[in-house]
Amino acid sequence: MDPQRRLAVMADSRTGAFGVMAAIAILGLKTLALADLDLGRGCFLVTAMLWSRWGQVMAIANYPYLRPGGQGALHKAHLRLLLDDLGLGPVLGLMLCAVCMVRHPDQLALSVGALVGSLIITLAIGAWLNRRLGGHTGDTYGATVEWTETLVLCLGAVLEASLVSPT
């Protein structure tokens, strides 16, 4: 499907079958990931929230906005106020990683894997949506948040299962 057709479908306020399936997939993945997380549940909840919102700001800053009359245009127009804060996400991520390492010093690989993996996921979601549409809309800003949160929580579950030795 070409980008213009995708934008037309996104402009329709009715939720279609694929929208419902995506919502179910996101809720299911988040629920399963949180159920699987044990040791790092609190850290990964905060990590997912932090990176997803920072990813949204990065998408606003780095990619064109496709609907000048859309509700998300406000964010793009007023981003100048946030440009000084673009480095805040990685700094907060490092601080969170440090807190998690202090709380669980034996889990260095988990903390570092979470930091690096989350950063990659955050940047990749915005870039992928930009590539598919040629820019972003308010809908894709929201999708960036939801998919980043979901994938960071799933990353946490996978990392915890593979890196944490059972006690």
* Residue of 49, 79, 81, 52 whose CA lies nearest to 64: 79
Radius of gyration of the chain (CA): 17
Q: In sequence order, which residues have a C-beta less than 8 Å from that of residue 74 and are 6 or more positions away?
A: none
- In the chain, which residues have pLDDT < 50? 81-83
Tens-place pLDDT, residues 33-50? 999 988 778 778 888 888
Tens-place pLDDT, residues 54-82? 888 888 888 888 877 766 666 666 665 44
In a domain, 14, yes or no: no
Task: For the beta carbon of residue 58, count every other beta carbon within 10 angstroms.
Answer: 19
Token reading at 46: 């905060």
In a domain, 154, yes or no: yes
Number of domains, the chain: 1
Cα distance between the two ends of the chain: 50
CB 129 within 8 A of CB 136: yes
In a domain, 150, yes or no: yes
Residue indicated by tokens 């399963």: 32
Backbone angles phi, psi at 104, to 5 degrees: -135, 75
In a domain, 162, yes or no: yes
Q: Name the residue range of residue 105's domain.
A: 38-67+87-167
